[in-house]
């Protein structure tokens, strides 16, 4: 029996990129995966792929994570369908890069609402259920930008740094109830978003990274699976940087 068989795993922002890779990794371990994204048809398509590829139960749940009401409704539906959430992976995020002097109010608030407010909403939506079952794993996807800062990303870096303080607080508040909360902070990972960046910029990034390469989605998924497993039962409130050594 797989270590995640019969576990209900909810992953926000899992129709593409890092979130999609995490969804596939959990499905390969026989978890029941709830795919969350902004569009129902995209969520359903990924869930269907997971079902047919891995022979697991999976469903799609569209949700606007920046809306408290939308998150509450979506998680009520998930809990009504499955009865529990064992693992919550908060991966949804956006960028609206600009230098501070040029950054608009909307560029600031849109990023904070999607990247940080959403994690407050989703965590609040599952925490009572996790307390009741006296077990749960919450994994929040931050970024190397949240640990180091990055030019043109005051909004993004602030949102991702905020996840660290939030996660440590949740770890302290709910550890006695069997709930752990940890952070994975990716560096530059090979995704469609990274592919759109100029080659000279990426070459410069790799030159500053001790491992001299970009990361792979599987690198992040592996860290998330570890922190979600019984092997990490005594790990909480921690930040695991998966960045090739860039932030050290």
Please count the other Cβ atoms lying within 10 Å of the Cβ belonging to residue 190: 16
DSSP class of residue 113 equals I
Torsion angles phi and psi, residue 36, rounded to 5:
-115, 135
> Distance between CA atoms of 239 and 168, rounded to whole angstroms?
9
The continuous run of DSSP H or E covering 163 comes out as helix 154-174
Catalytic (active-site) positions: 156
How would you list the strands of the sheet with 58-62, edge to edge? 58-62, 32-37, 8-11, 87-90, 136-141, 179-186, 239-242
DSSP class of residue 63 equals -
Contacts of 87 (CB under 8 A, 6+ apart): 4, 7, 8, 9, 10, 26, 31, 136, 137, 138, 139, 228
Contact between residue 153 and residue 214 where contact means Cβ atoms under 8 Å apart: no
Contact between residue 42 and residue 18 where contact means Cβ atoms under 8 Å apart: no
The token duo for 150 is 């990055």
């Amino acid at each position: 029996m797989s270590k995640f068989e019969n576990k209900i795993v909810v992953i926000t922002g899992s129709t593409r990129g890092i979130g999609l890779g995490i969804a596939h990794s959990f499905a390969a371990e026989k978890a029941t995966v709830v795919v969350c994204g902004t569009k129902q048809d995209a969520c359903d398509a990924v869930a269907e792929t997971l079902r047919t590829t891995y022979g697991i139960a999976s469903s799609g749940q569209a949700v606007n994570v920046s809306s408290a009401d939308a998150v509450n409704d979506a998680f009520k539906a998930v809990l009504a369908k499955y009865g529990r959430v064992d693992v919550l992976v908060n991966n949804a995020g956006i960028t609206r890069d600009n230098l501070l002097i040029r950054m608009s109010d909307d560029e600031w608030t849109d990023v904070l609402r999607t990247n940080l407010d959403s994690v407050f909403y989703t965590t609040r939506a599952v925490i009572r259920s996790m307390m009741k079952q006296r077990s749960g794993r919450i994994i929040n996807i931050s970024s190397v930008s949240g640990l180091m800062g990055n030019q043109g990303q005051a909004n993004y870096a602030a949102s991702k740094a905020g996840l660290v303080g939030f996660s440590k607080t949740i770890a302290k508040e709910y550890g006695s109830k069997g709930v752990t909360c940890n952070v994975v902070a990716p560096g530059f990972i090979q995704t469609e978003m990274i592919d759109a960046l100029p080659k000279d910029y990426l070459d410069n990034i790799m030159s500053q990274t001790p491992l001299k390469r970009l990361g792979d989605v599987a690198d992040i998924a592996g860290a998330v699976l570890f922190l979600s497993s019984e092997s990490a039962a005594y790990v909480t409130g921690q930040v695991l940087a998966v960045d090739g050594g860039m932030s050290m």
